[in-house]
Structure 1
């Protein structure tokens, strides 16, 4: 249960989704009863008939920024910059008048302190220092930084989604956002939410289902592989989260009324559980979430979850295994492979209840 090899499964390459469905709600939905192990197959839109009228769905309203910038170093060599701490950069911009934050840099030769970078749309940058493979970068532009970043940047898709077409990149700006995305700061989408349409959400609300928004800015660490043999030795990444008083009040009221709390995505799960007291009550606030959930964890808040299919040996696969049982999850994944489900960010979904 604690070996990294316990969290692997066979997945044909062709089942890694490269594009979303034309209609978000047309994705497949594997409905798994975690108590009995019973599985059923639906389309995602069928969630309207599965959920109960008094359920509360917790959604993550983070918005993915065009965090990947391509350009050249002052020597002429190609360079790629990935902004990974947008919030810190915006705080710096407000306080000091310039955008500066930690970034990842890809180049044929690692840039030294003082190296200048030319990144398009009037954006230049200077490397201020480096630590543990990350670079502190200060950005300069003559116009509003957000506007320039939107013009020059690309949506930073996961490495398993392959792109070489400008048209695809343009489509991804819309497709790789949830319809309720609002607060800028993520470098990866909370992908379980990509299946929701406004029509489905309106239908659920008419049925009596309640929505509550939290924020967790998904960071680059979500793609970081587990490099230890014993998963308990892994150090998980930290990500900024925020829960308002109103959201906490609505969640806690639902708990008091014995209504189900359904987390949309592992990001919502981690945020809720991180902010929960032993009683299951959620505390409002903001900060850095570094909760690592793997089998043996006792859930305090979440009663059910909507989630995508996750990479082998990933912390996200460990999280859903903690919720539904490792063997049950791996059996469901084998079923999904046999039924030709589409996997990962643009893939199909599961409902665990």
Structure 2
């Protein structure tokens, strides 16, 4: 009798993904849906498993990886993977996979929804109504910024950035982008214009952060960059916390160097309720729900399961397995 490989899943996942894993492996799972697995539990489980199915909230660092005795694959249910020490995993012969593509359109929807909510002050207006402050119609009551025909600057023209650009074209927006590498084919197909970062910041009415988090992009937008922006500019971040320096963002908003911000991500998550940014009426803050549609989250979970099983079955070069680039 051939023994099934052992897998540990760090959070309760959709039954479609769990059922798939259980067909091929012996599965142990942290049963809580909203509470991350404690570090001490993860340290114990990783010692004896062949596969780890984790989330972006799980820190898979070198000390943890060193405890693994037979680990072959780490499957991250996320498009990003800055929660995993990729170099350490590679040094130990462990393959790391992620779930790109499947969340592109859903995250782009959320990015544009956050842009619209921030520009038109929807959350602030709802609170205004619920607090009984609406006494009559007034010409300038809760006026926001126009979206149609405005200039949007996209920092990071990857899959999600491209999807946001397509949505922006539906609003007849002028689309600028900054990327590590220019993309002439996309420039021609989408009619978007490349700009150096500082020029984009100075020209854009809306600045959408959609670049991955790396050593190079940490604090990419800080005090110096905010000073280049229009006083009417709105900053939207649905990528990762830490790319926008939160202290600098707070100063820029308080000093009216920019008009508003919409944030789905924070450097510390969950964001502390006493965070200064949460005190500002011109900040729309969300709990990292960029990919949170029912179908997308199920698809992500199943993709992560298939990535993991594919590697354990000895097919790491299969084109359907989304391996992380270790270079």
State the TM-score, normalizing by the size of structure 2.
Answer: 0.31
| Greater helix share, structure number | 2
Return the TM-score normalized by structure 1.
0.29
Between structures 1 and 2, the one with greater strand share = 1
Structure index of larger Rg: 2
